[in-house]
């Protein structure tokens, strides 16, 4: 079985939605893993979020464009990335109030803040940009 098939199988069987390149280092060398991940991106099974970060992908039935498969949407995907990296983050008060059930209004955009010494990367998920606050 090739490295690309092994990686693809691991991604399909996994309950996680976000993967790092180092998750697959047991299957092949660094360059082989990179080639395998690029093959999966070309097959529309993965989306590259940023340096060394990938997520499961599927085609949107309405637009025909590639989108993450996370059932919680972009915000849940961003929270999973920050938790995976061990970053202490805070959400804006309006989003917290909505998630806690204190408000019936649903925020259109959840803003996150964290110490940029812990995590200083730029991630792009669709049209959303996750970057360290200034």
Residues 81-122 have pLDDT tens digits of 888 888 888 888 888 888 788 888 877 777 777 888 887 777
Give me the number of domains the chain comprises. Answer: 2
Contact 118, 87 (CB under 8 A): yes
pLDDT score at 107: 78
Contact 123, 89 (CB under 8 A): no
39 and 83 assigned to the same domain? no
Domain limits at 105? 72-130
Contact 33, 3 (CB under 8 A): yes
114 and 80 assigned to the same domain? yes
Domain contains 84: yes
Packing angle between helix 3-13 and helix 30-42, nearest 10 degrees? Answer: 60
Domain contains 21: yes
15 and 48 assigned to the same domain? yes
79 and 125 assigned to the same domain? yes
Domain contains 64: no
pLDDT interval class at 62 (50, 70, 90): very high
Domain contains 66: no
Tell me the average pLDDT of the chain.
Answer: 86
Residue with tokens 């070309």: 42
């Amino acid at each position: 079985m090739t490295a690309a098939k092994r990686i693809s199988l691991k991604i399909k069987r996994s309950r996680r939605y976000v993967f790092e390149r180092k998750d697959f280092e047991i299957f092949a060398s660094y360059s082989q893993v990179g080639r395998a991940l690029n093959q999966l991106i070309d097959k529309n099974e993965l989306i590259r979020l940023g340096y060394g970060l990938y997520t499961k992908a599927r085609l949107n039935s309405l637009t025909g464009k590639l989108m993450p498969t996370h059932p919680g949407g972009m915000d849940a995907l961003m929270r999973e990335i920050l938790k995976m990296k061990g970053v202490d983050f805070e959400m804006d008060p309006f989003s917290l109030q909505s998630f806690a059930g204190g408000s019936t209004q649903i925020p259109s955009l959840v803003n996150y803040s964290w110490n940029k010494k812990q995590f200083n990367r730029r991630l792009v998920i669709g049209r959303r940009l996750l970057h360290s606050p200034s």
